[in-house]
Amino acid sequence: MNDASLSIATPKRAQTSGRQKFALAMAGLGAVLLLLVWAAQNAFAPVPVLLVALGLMIAGALLFVREEYLTRPEGIRNNGVWFRSLSARGVWGWLIAVVLTGFYTVLYFFPESWFTGLTALFSPFSHLLRRMPADKWFVYGALYTFSILVMGVKFMFKYRHNRYQVLRTVSVMFFQLGFAFLIPAFLQMMQQPEYYFTYFWPLKDYYGSPGAVQYYSSATDISVYFILFSTFMIVVATPVLTYFFGKRWYCSWVCGCGGLAETAGDPFRHLSDKSLKAWRIERWIIHSVLVAVAVLTGLLWLNSWQQGGVLGRFSHVYSTAYGYIIGMAFSGVVGVGFYPLLGSRVWCRFGCPMAAILGILQKKKSKFRITVNGGQCISCGNCSAYCEMGIDVRHYAQRGQDVVRASCVGCGICAAVCPRGVLRLEGAASDAGERARQLRTVHVRLEDVKIL
Amino acid sequence: MKIVILGNGIAGITAARHVRKRSDHDITVISDESDHFFSRTALMYVYMGHMRFKDTKPFEDWFWEKNRINLLHARVERIDFQEKILYFAPRGNLPGVFTGQGGNVPGENTERGAAGVPEPLSYDKLLLATGSKPNKFGWPGQDLDGVHGLYHLQDLEAMERHSAFMLNGQPITNNQQPATKRAVIVGGGLIGVEMAEMFHSRNIPVTFLVRESDFWNVVLPPEEARMVSRHLREHHIDLRLETELKEILPDDSGKKCTAVVTNKGEKIDCGFVGLTAGVSPNVDFLRNTELEISRGILVNEFLETNIPNVYAAGDCAELRQPLPGRKPIEAVWYTGRMMGETAAHNLISDFGLGIADWHNPQSPIRNPQSYTPGIWFNSAKFFDIEYQVYGDIRPHLPEGHATLYWEHPDGKKSIRLNYEKSGGRITGFNLMGVRYRQEVCDKWIRTGTHVEEVLHRLGMANFDPEFCPQHEKELIRVYNRQTGRHLKLRQKRGLDAVLDFLR
């Protein structure tokens, strides 16, 4: 029980048990195996090696989190979050950030030939699912899904007392595995074009372009329905669903980017910046990206209509630039690479144009809000600290104001970590602004106050 | 007008903010504890690593200058109420503030160690909001090193220091022996359970001495008190009921605690003793002045002291005429905030010319605001069990009252409704592990709603997260069994109905 701290510098004792160290070693071994195959540029006995590597990682991770959460009574367990190097921007945090950023840079900007080892390793799996060899995107998709599933289980262990959190996590795991991994693979097996039914314009800007419309209209006899579905989702379903449920129907229940943030990114959620300055910057950047993608799509359609007559190659150059800067560098490299530095929702908060649209809808036309329970707030700040979107929830809670913010993805963690039961995600037909704007002084009889 | 507020806790800061919101007066807030307002209730989360100290500050540091609220980190030594002047202690005497990471709290304590004495400060109106200090009941050894309450930032620092000592077994100074790795907490109240959770989070074993036969059963009804006792033991807290502290033993140096002796004669070795047997007003430096003090600073319903233009609010204030069913001193975050609001109003009303004046119908009194905290409410969290109370819930049911109690089979959730036997007026709600809406419960109690009407519409009160199981029907079944009635839940959970009801 009383083994000494692993670190000399901190008076806070590390709470990693022997079993957890063993579990970490197992998971680490699995990861090393993958790296070795990658480095070797070739895969020997890919099926058993892949099974062993993933098996070790799954077993290690599950054993670790079992030990971490299931050995204790259920409830909020954020002990030591700010003491651990990994979750408090310590050496481990920076190291992971560099590794992730490096990985994404290689993934996006380096050729397929850099991945021959991993693609060879994953090819039998790819043949099974798609009847074709693996490429780097298949490997990436598989690992991405794997992360969401494993870390999703961890998240459900952690919040097992809270059914909202459990169901939400089942949902993101389901949509990632089914809609973002198996169905696209299945489509390819059936000789259909690859398609993601959970990504729409403007997040997937390509689906709104004339190129995509032309392609899917004629690729196969059913592919036209794919593009019609996406168009319906963004034009009709998005405003309706957002009206009833807020942007969470997508961001924290369906979206794959959100799925990774909510599961693998959960240990970093508290690292988001809560300052007013960060909020200002956020609004500028995210709406600029929305404008940029709108301009992009407009240009492409104009150019298509004019057959390149007016803008020449400009729309192509613009499109390529958007792809590199926003699609790859921002959403990919920074979006995940900076998890351990700026929190798990960097892309969702500062960049995602889909989130921008959902945010405007949520703020202007939605039943959704976070209700504040009378005067019960003690200003402790857990809600703000664990808001992955960097919303200073406490600012509203301590004034008794309901929270209506464009960026809120409805993850519900603020309500979960609140030690006084002050916050609830809910909806009502009445104007959300009614209780969000005014300061509700529930404890001084305002009718008595005449002079003020 | 120059308003000076002594104390930057929730009462003082709420007053400062509301004065600024409604007036343009000069405001200065003085504290010897920290540069900036922080949430005292969140100190435990800093120790547990849930948050950094800076995360406990509800307002960013630029807020104060922007709102022209002057902050002064200094210790008031003496107040001249005649001349309306505050005199300060030398700066070097400020209590130290460190984090456990071995450095000063960033952005805090900038004045500490600075030379000189701050200039005396004059005021037109003064608000005393000096808060509390942990109770000490004259136990032998109560002032030893390693014996601390949990109230001030400095108490957190002490816990950090001694925890490092207990965990790593390394003496802080050469003449100390390695400490025993156990903390003993004395007094079963809300701060005691927080402290237990704090040490527990660092795997420091905790022995919890509680005088009562179940945890906090001077406030909680027996079932709820037993629930908390069970839960503490589930977390491996060594809970010693009906056990009191007799004395604290020093180590060889004679300076630091090393064990406690209980009233049962048992000696328990420990590296830390937490004194959490309540708090009392922090007013010692004001005693023996013309300010009338009993346990706290005596105030009327307008929070005026006996001295004109001097007010008191928060933990340090004692109401001369407590509200019906309430105590003269209520050292709770919420009452501090409400008093702060009330004081702010009265500080900037024109009537503040002294008690004698506003009783005179000829004097230019304008609309003083009496302290009206409304229906009692409070909340806490005992490890994983949240607690909310609305209205009148006593450990023993008063004459003529009935209680309706449901407990979940897992023993970690319960709902209790109290009501009058004749007439059926609802009087209180006590919730464990279940969240209820304050405004709905408050309105039911305020309007004396019949318990059956409440039960019919109880879904409205539920504030638990979506998809969480709701237990209102089970409570109604208990009622039907007890009374032979056949009530049904008619109103489901949902905000629309709530907003209609509250309108």
The domain tally of chain A equals: 2
Instruction: Provide the domain limits for residue A160.
Output: 15-72+112-182
- The pLDDT confidence band at residue A447, using thresholds 50, 70 and 90, is very low
Cβ distance B437 to A373 less than 8 Å, yes or no, reads yes
- Does the pLDDT value for residue B101 go beyond 60? no
Domain for residue B138, yes or no?
no
Evaluate whether B187 touches B276 at the Cβ level (below 8 Å).
yes
Least confident of A363-377, B84-98, B144-158, B358-372: B358-372
Question: From the CA of B251, how many Å to the nearest CA of chain A?
Answer: 22
- Does the pLDDT value for residue B203 go beyond 70? yes
Domain for residue B122, yes or no?
yes
Q: Residue A433 has what pLDDT?
A: 75
What would the pLDDT profile of A26-65 be if each residue is shown by its tens digit? 999 999 999 999 999 888 899 999 999 999 999 999 999 9
Evaluate whether B208 touches B239 at the Cβ level (below 8 Å).
yes
What would the pLDDT profile of B303-348 be if each residue is shown by its tens digit? 999 999 999 999 999 999 999 989 999 999 999 999 999 999 899 8
Q: Residue B176 has what pLDDT?
A: 53
- The pLDDT confidence band at residue A307, using thresholds 50, 70 and 90, is confident
Domain for residue A29, yes or no?
yes
- Does the pLDDT value for residue B359 go beyond 50? no
Q: Are residues B408 and B478 in the same domain?
A: yes
Domain for residue B201, yes or no?
yes
* Average pLDDT over every residue of B415-429: 97
Q: Are residues B178 and B271 in the same domain?
A: yes
Q: Are residues B415 and B398 in the same domain?
A: yes
- The pLDDT confidence band at residue A3, using thresholds 50, 70 and 90, is very low
Question: From the CA of B272, how many Å to the nearest CA of chain A?
Answer: 16
Q: Are residues B42 and B120 in the same domain?
A: yes
Domain for residue A376, yes or no?
yes
Q: Residue B109 has what pLDDT?
A: 52
- Does the pLDDT value for residue B352 go beyond 50? no
- Does the pLDDT value for residue B417 go beyond 50? yes
Domain for residue B316, yes or no?
yes
The residue in chain A having the minimum alpha-carbon distance to the alpha carbon of residue B37 is A379
- DSSP single-letter state for residue B405: E
- Does the pLDDT value for residue A322 go beyond 60? yes
- Does the pLDDT value for residue A78 go beyond 90? yes
Q: Are residues B7 and B126 in the same domain?
A: yes
Domain for residue A348, yes or no?
no
CB proximity under 8 Å: A 81-100 to B: 81-84
Q: Whole-angstrom Cα distance, residue A377 to residue A386?
A: 16
Looking at B277, B293, B308, the residue that finishes a domain is B277
Q: Are residues B82 and B200 in the same domain?
A: no
Domain for residue A144, yes or no?
yes
CATH code where residue B452 lies: 3.30.390.30
Size of interface A-B (CB pairs under 8 A): 204
Q: Are residues B172 and B267 in the same domain?
A: yes
- Does the pLDDT value for residue A440 go beyond 70? no
* Average pLDDT over every residue of A314-343: 92
Domain for residue A218, yes or no?
no
CATH code where residue A409 lies: 3.30.70.20
Q: Residue A436 has what pLDDT?
A: 76
Tell which wins on pLDDT, A239 or A304: A239
Evaluate whether A92 touches A24 at the Cβ level (below 8 Å).
no
Q: Residue A7 has what pLDDT?
A: 38
Evaluate whether B398 touches B391 at the Cβ level (below 8 Å).
no
Q: Whole-angstrom Cα distance, residue B153 to residue B95?
A: 9
Helix (H, G, I), strand (E, B) or coil at B378: strand
- How far is the CA of A26 from the CAs of A22, A60, A122, A150, in angstroms? 6, 5, 21, 14
Which structure tokens are listed for B218?
Answer: 């001077």
Q: Residue B363 has what pLDDT?
A: 46
Domain for residue B367, yes or no?
no
Which residue among B41, B369, B374 sits closest to A378, beta carbon to beta carbon? B41
Q: Residue B107 has what pLDDT?
A: 46
CATH code where residue B266 lies: 3.50.50.60
- Does the pLDDT value for residue B365 go beyond 80? no
Least confident of B109-113, B161-165, B497-501: B109-113
Evaluate whether B48 touches B12 at the Cβ level (below 8 Å).
no
Q: Are residues B287 and B344 in the same domain?
A: yes
* Average pLDDT over every residue of B233-261: 95
Looking at B324, B359, B394, the residue that finishes a domain is B359
* Average pLDDT over every residue of A355-369: 95
Domain for residue A447, yes or no?
no
Looking at A139, A159, A182, the residue that finishes a domain is A182
Domain for residue A344, yes or no?
no
CB proximity under 8 Å: A 201-260 to B: none
Residue A162 near chain B (CB below 8 Å): yes
Looking at A182, A214, A229, the residue that finishes a domain is A182
Q: Residue B177 has what pLDDT?
A: 54
- CA angle (A197 as vertex; A192, A202 as ends), nearest 5: 115
Question: From the CA of B495, how many Å to the nearest CA of chain A?
Answer: 5
- Does the pLDDT value for residue B413 go beyond 80? yes
- How far is the CA of A38 from the CAs of A32, A106, A326, in angstroms? 10, 12, 28
The domain tally of chain B equals: 3
Cβ distance A373 to B101 less than 8 Å, yes or no, reads no
- Does the pLDDT value for residue B391 go beyond 90? yes
Instruction: Provide the domain limits for residue B401.
Output: 377-502
* Average pLDDT over every residue of B60-83: 95
Helix (H, G, I), strand (E, B) or coil at A446: helix
E-only strand ranges, B81-194: 85-88, 121-122, 125-128, 132-134, 147-148, 183-186
- How far is the CA of A265 from the CAs of A336, A384, B103, B385, in angstroms? 8, 17, 30, 27
- The pLDDT confidence band at residue A314, using thresholds 50, 70 and 90, is confident
Q: Residue A9 has what pLDDT?
A: 43
Question: From the CA of B244, how many Å to the nearest CA of chain A?
Answer: 28
Residue B418, class by beta-carbon neighbours within 10 Å (0-12 exposed, 13-18 middle, 19+ buried)? buried
Domain for residue B342, yes or no?
yes
Domain for residue B366, yes or no?
no
Q: Are residues B287 and B199 in the same domain?
A: no
- Does the pLDDT value for residue B84 go beyond 50? yes
The residue in chain A having the minimum alpha-carbon distance to the alpha carbon of residue B19 is A452
Looking at B228, B246, B277, the residue that finishes a domain is B277
Looking at A127, A154, A182, the residue that finishes a domain is A182
- Which residues, 6 or more positions from B19, have their beta carbon under 8 angstroms from its beta carbon? B3, B25, B27, B344, B347, B348
Residues of B within 8 A of A78 (CB-CB) are 48-50
Q: Are residues B255 and B318 in the same domain?
A: no
Q: Are residues B129 and B168 in the same domain?
A: no
Cβ distance A421 to B379 less than 8 Å, yes or no, reads yes
Q: Are residues B102 and B151 in the same domain?
A: no
Helix (H, G, I), strand (E, B) or coil at B323: coil
